[in-house]
Chain A
């Protein structure tokens, strides 16, 4: 968003509570890299990392826990860079399947911004995927490796769809980024700079083009004037000093939990229930993607510890609704890699496959480099009871109220998870797995955060309009997963970035009349 708006020569100030990361400090640069996935400063939960840049999140009332990261680059520092688009049907869920709501925009609206985002993020992939309208991507696909080929053969055996994953990973040198060298541990930051985290894609260009980025500045509240327009933001700097940054336009992009938290913390006489919340929907309709994981054990080594963790192949055989399955909507299956020696041992322990004592080494040898994991990413439908509120007691290190998550899995999601586990196991077996182990829902999978400031045309049923502008506050925009109307069955980042570029484009084209 900031990058796109920079060409207007407006003065743009971005406030980010985290700092710049140094890729030379990422775990993959040292021995002990594997265990850092599970504990310490690069682990998934903000509650366990112990970094000042993070804020705590009370997720005890949810079977799915929040995973995020707070720094320049945000959660893309840790993300897997699996980069699919939504399908055209995802924008028309109500019309097609009679559930949830249609989006006020469609695939065609976002298509040019998906294309632009592919160039900016450096997306690798293969043209010709029959599950999508035609698309061109700037980089060749990530290597299949032995694991991808093995699983691809399994899908072929069943006659199911599969395709190399669209991946925001530089498979060749790209715009100053070095090519991926298949390190494996993408989820603790990419030391090579090949993964398209936004600290190496958008931010450097935005800053070069005049955007001012203030790091270690945590926004406490968005202020309003007596006409109900946003007038700026109060933030706390690294030394704990409070400042008020005045602004003519405020854009919020704190993700699906951070955004409702900030809006709910921005209470005033005119907006006693939080900013832009006349509909009462700020924080409601929280969607994750409920994840299942199936791990298969093979007889042959698969070299699964090499290559981007989350980017290999995807199957969308069960993406679209088939009511005979007993649920609506569907899911993607994504093959994962990255099981190094430590992860193999810990997985063996948790799945009771690895005893201590005399049988230990034989059991380990049967597991080492012979497991393949598949995650199944289920579409979540919006439900008002699933929500982000402010915790009455919990605060961050600056004393700002922290978010609380209330979330239940719906009947539809539970049925979809069951189906996904069964079909995932079938696919692994078709590829040669002699045993499979399912886990559903996957507890740490609260990494896709959507729906909490939803987009729509009716101010009573949505928080922002079709161009991301708050219905209640004409100079306030939201551009992150919060605005999603439905979640689709794919990872959201490509879409939320495309939405940001689309909203920025709207702002640039309508500067004169923007607040009418």
Chain B
């Protein structure tokens, strides 16, 4: 983790850009609180993210005269692309943890049509399937090589 906590609200705004709202009832990753999940897992990547966020903030003020979180979504996306190109790894170092945390978040899992629970102890029903599909395979010969 970087020595200083990553600055807010810009970090959560960035996460909202990376994974935006899925529906009116499911906001983006930052608004879902993923910053608290991602930040402690960044390890050495944390300092690169911190400097990327600094660049994002400076660029927002320079080119739009406003802080990054206050910009319109399209302007935010453009800035993240620009800063990402200048700071290789800035975005990529976040994505593994962001995707991991986001896709195990209960609200996201439910939005995919699953119950939000660990697989154990309930498990899942699974169809045995049609073993009659094997009739043509069963009839084949010569697959077991003579020795």
Q: In whole angstroms, how far apart are the Cα atoms of A26 and B141 in the complex?
A: 43
Indicate whether A341 sits within 8 Å of B18 (C-beta atoms), given known contacts A156-B136, A181-B123, A183-B124.
no
Let me know if B95 and A341 touch, CB within 8 A: no
Which B residues are in CB contact (< 8 Å) with A128? 134, 138
Let me know if A33 and B118 touch, CB within 8 A: yes
- Minimum C-beta distance from A127 to chain B (A): 10
Selecting from A61-69, A279-287, A343-351, the interface stretch reads A343-351
A-B contact pairs, 11 of them (CB 8 A): A31-B104, A31-B106, A31-B118, A126-B134, A163-B134, A164-B134, A185-B119, A306-B124, A320-B145, A342-B100, A361-B22
Is the interface on chain B under 10, 10 to 19, 20 to 34, or 35 or more residues?
Answer: 35 or more
Indicate whether A29 sits within 8 Å of B120 (C-beta atoms), given known contacts A128-B138, A361-B22, A368-B112.
yes
Q: Is B137's beta carbon under 8 Å from chain A?
A: yes
Which A residues are in CB contact (< 8 Å) with B80? 357
Q: Is A258's beta carbon under 8 Å from chain B?
A: no
Q: Is A32's beta carbon under 8 Å from chain B?
A: yes
Let me know if B103 and A342 touch, CB within 8 A: yes
Indicate whether A131 sits within 8 Å of B144 (C-beta atoms), given known contacts A31-B118, A35-B100.
yes
**For residues 102 through 147 of chain B, which have their beta carbon under 8 Å from a beta carbon of chain A?**
102-104, 106, 108-109, 112, 114, 116-131, 133-134, 136-141, 143-145, 147
Indicate whether A156 sits within 8 Å of B144 (C-beta atoms), given known contacts A181-B123, A342-B104.
no
**Which 5 pairs, one residue from A and one from B, show the smallest C-beta to C-beta distance?**
A181-B123, A144-B129, A183-B119, A345-B99, A306-B124
Q: Is A149's beta carbon under 8 Å from chain B?
A: yes
Q: Is B20's beta carbon under 8 Å from chain A?
A: yes
Which residue of the partner chain B has the closest CB to A181? Answer: B123
Let me know if A345 and B102 touch, CB within 8 A: yes
Known: A92-B147, A130-B137, A181-B123. 5 other contacts (CB 8 A): A29-B118, A31-B104, A91-B147, A128-B138, A345-B102
Q: In whole angstroms, how far apart are the Cα atoms of A408 and B28 in the complex?
A: 46
Which B residues are in CB contact (< 8 Å) with A26? 120
Which B residues are in CB contact (< 8 Å) with A88? 144-145, 147
Let me know if A32 and B20 touch, CB within 8 A: no
Let me know if B124 and A356 touch, CB within 8 A: no
Which B residues are in CB contact (< 8 Å) with A84? none
Indicate whether A184 sits within 8 Å of B130 (C-beta atoms), given known contacts A35-B100, A341-B114.
no
